[in-house]
Amino acid sequence: MSAPAGMPAEPIAAVTSNISCRKTAAQALAVVRDGVITGEGPTTKGRIHFSRALDADDAAWCARILTATAVEHQPVSRAEAEALFEINDAASERSDDGLFDDLFAKAVVHHAASASGLPVPSRTVALSPDTAIESWAPTRAVGVDTEVLEWIASQMRGRRRSNHTLMRLVATIVGAATLQLTHIPNVFDIGM
């Protein structure tokens, strides 16, 4: 991914050159979060950036970090997903035309599916704005780890800003899981 319009190459190298694993990618996302909160830092250099605002350049930073060469073929980690939840919460103003929301939903679902042992495409495919999340995300609860679903639900509970794409996918998966769980009492009745 090339530099966003008006963004100097030096800050990009300073933040992305240190990405060697998913842990350092999560740390780089924390730098973006801090820039969103304060309006200052390496991710805001060379442009006007207000505190608590998220713009297209911030979304591009997140995409660049999440698809860095060192991590592009690994699933999104929980730490990276948590950093995205923090960025989502930090931004009270949005001027990114939905780019972050799309990336956010795809990254969280990528984590949930992979943590459940389900196959996921590479990050460059899954997180691309040109790839529909429905083309690869699980739409049934079969194989989705309930602990991961509980984690997502706990992250979404009480948040100021909700992501409608993520909520829709989780509701579909959780709804299917709930239907499957209704048959469990019958299993217990058999054993008694």
**pLDDT value at residue 141:** 62
**What pLDDT is stored for residue 160 in this prediction?**
61
pLDDT band for 137, please (50, 70, 90 cuts): confident
| Model pLDDT for residues 143-183, shown as the tens digit of each residue | 678 888 888 878 877 666 666 766 766 665 554 444 343 33
User: pTM score > 0.75 for this model?
Assistant: yes
DSSP β-bridge partners for residue 95? 55
CB burial of residue 79 (10 Å; 0-12, 13-18, 19+): middle
CB 163 within 8 A of CB 104: yes
| Buried-state track 134-144, b at ≥16 Cβ within 10 A, e below 16 | eebbbeebeeb
For residue range 62-75, list pLDDT tens digits in order. 999 999 999 999 99
- The label of the residue with tokens 């992305």 reads 16
Average pLDDT over every residue of 2-29: 73
Gap between the Cα atoms of 92 and 174, Å rounded: 28
Cα–Cα dist 129/99, whole Å: 7
C-alpha dist (Å) from residue 16 to 29, 66, 144, 179: 10, 10, 32, 44
Predicted confidence at residue 92, as pLDDT, reads 87
Whether 155 contacts 85, CB under 8 Å: yes
Higher-confidence residue of 40 and 12: namely 40
Half-sphere exposure for 70 (CA within 13 Å, toward CB): 13
Average pLDDT of the residues in 84-88: 94
